[in-house]
Structure 1
Amino acid sequence: MAASSRSRVIVVIGVILVLVLAFFGARFMNVPQAQSRAVNAWSEVALQFQLRAYLTQDVIDAVKVVNPAQLDLIGALENKRQQVINLPADPHAPFSVDRFRAFMATQDALSVELGKVLDLMQLYPERRAQPPVSTVLARLVQSESRIVVARSDYSRAAEAYNRLVTKAPTRWFADMVEPAARPMITSFDLSTLPGA
């Protein structure tokens, strides 16, 4: 009788262990999916920044229409645009503070120059209203909006992934099955990154 109750206890414990392992295993399976979503969201961020760099040529042409004497601004725009275009695609940037910082510093440098363009356009309302210039400015505003959305989507996806690889109990499974899993950078504020 004691052997019968002992075997029942062992079976119950075994069933509970199998259920617990199945539950945590299913939770761990979310890790690759969450990582894939976050990496895809990062790719969209990089794409939107790249598209803005290509649009910058039209912005340069608009500056030439509005005030061709702005040679310094035109030169800076061309330089920063080329730096962004020449920046190699780096899917590992959101996993590395240094790579992320380099990527965002390049993008931010172009953002500063584009901000100067918008300031310049405020000085010439009648020229800014001309159809070719107004069209380019509208496209720039749309591009900036798409960047904001892409960054927000990425931050949410990276935070969801980070919860899975840094919080117990999924972290334990991630450590056992995929020890290389590491958190992603979630903030685009460079001052909050380590080493700032």
Structure 2
Amino acid sequence: MAVSSRNRLFIVIGVILVLALAFAGARFMNVPQAESRAANAWGEVERQYQLRAYLTQDVIDAVRAVNPAQVDLVTALEEKRQQVIRYPFDARAPHRDEQFRAFMATQDALSVELGKVLDLMQLYPERRAQPPISSVLARLAQSEIRIVMARSDYIRAAKTYNRLVTNIPTRWFAGLVEHETVPMIVSFDMSAPAKS
């Protein structure tokens, strides 16, 4: 009788282990999906920033129309725009702090110049209200909103991926399949820690 209860105990333990492994394996299958969602979200962030860079040419034309004497601002806008356009897309940037920071530094430099444009436009309310100028400013505002939304979607997706690759037991399974699972950067704040 003792052998029979002992066998039942081993069967129960075996079933529990199999269920635990099945659960962990099922959770691990979420890792590639989460990584794909985060990578797609990062691609959208890059795309929205690129679209803003192309829109900057219209902003430059608007500055020239409002105040042709703003040669320094136009030159800075053109320079920052070209830097953004030439910056290479890198799907692995969210995994590499230095590349992520370099990408954001390039984008932030253009953001500073675009902020100067908005300050300039406040000085010329009658010209700012003209349809071609107001249209460009409205498209710029829409572009900024799309960037904020893309960044927010990316942060959410990256946090989900990071939870899966840093929490037990999915961390163990991810480590078995891919030796180097690096969490993604989730902060666009240049002064904050990059990963969480």
Q: TM-score, normalised by structure 2?
A: 0.96
Which structure 1 residue ranges, 5 or more long, are not aligned? none
- Give the aligned residue type for 1:149: M
In the alignment, structure 1 residue 81 sits paired with structure 2 residue 81 = yes
**Corresponding residue for 1:135?**
135
Instruction: Tell me, in whole angstroms, the C-alpha distance in 2 between the residues paired with 1:29 and 1:149.
Output: 27
User: After superposition, where does 1:87-98 map in structure 2 within 5 Å?
Assistant: 87-98=87-98
**Corresponding residue for 1:31?**
31
For the aligned residue pairs, the C-alpha RMSD in angstroms reads: 1.1
Offset, 1:191: 0.6
Cα contact 1:83–1:106 (8 A) shared by 2: yes
CA deviation string 1:73-119 (max 9, x = no partner): 00100000000000011111100110001000000000000000000
SS of the aligned residue for 1:186 comes to: coil
Cα contact 1:164–1:171 (8 A) shared by 2: yes
Which structure 2 residue ranges, 5 or more long, are not aligned? none
- Give the aligned residue type for 2:183: P
Instruction: Tell me, in whole angstroms, the C-alpha distance in 2 between the residues paired with 1:193 and 1:12.
Output: 46
- Give the aligned residue type for 2:133: V
User: After superposition, where does 1:155-194 map in structure 2 within 5 Å?
Assistant: 155-193=155-193
SS of the aligned residue for 2:163 comes to: helix
Instruction: Tell me, in whole angstroms, the C-alpha distance in 2 between the residues paired with 1:67 and 1:108.
Output: 24
Offset, 1:181: 1.3
SS of the aligned residue for 2:191 comes to: helix
Offset, 1:175: 1.8
**Corresponding residue for 2:147?**
147
Instruction: Tell me, in whole angstroms, the C-alpha distance in 2 between the residues paired with 1:24 and 1:169.
Output: 6
Instruction: Tell me, in whole angstroms, the C-alpha distance in 2 between the residues paired with 1:192 and 1:96.
Output: 15
Instruction: Tell me, in whole angstroms, the C-alpha distance in 2 between the residues paired with 1:10 and 1:178.
Output: 32
Cα contact 1:42–1:94 (8 A) shared by 2: yes
**Corresponding residue for 1:125?**
125
Cα contact 1:97–1:193 (8 A) shared by 2: no
Q: Which moved more, 1:176-185 or 1:22-31?
A: 176-185
**Corresponding residue for 1:3?**
3
Instruction: Tell me, in whole angstroms, the C-alpha distance in 2 between the residues paired with 1:56 and 1:24.
Output: 48
Instruction: Tell me, in whole angstroms, the C-alpha distance in 2 between the residues paired with 1:16 and 1:95.
Output: 36
Instruction: Tell me, in whole angstroms, the C-alpha distance in 1 between the residues paired with 2:114 and 2:193.
Output: 25
Cα contact 1:95–1:185 (8 A) shared by 2: yes
CA deviation string 1:125-172 (max 9, x = no partner): 000011000000000000000000101111111111111111122212
- Give the aligned residue type for 1:24: A
Instruction: Tell me, in whole angstroms, the C-alpha distance in 2 between the residues paired with 1:171 and 1:93.
Output: 21
User: Percent identical across equivalent pairs?
Assistant: 74
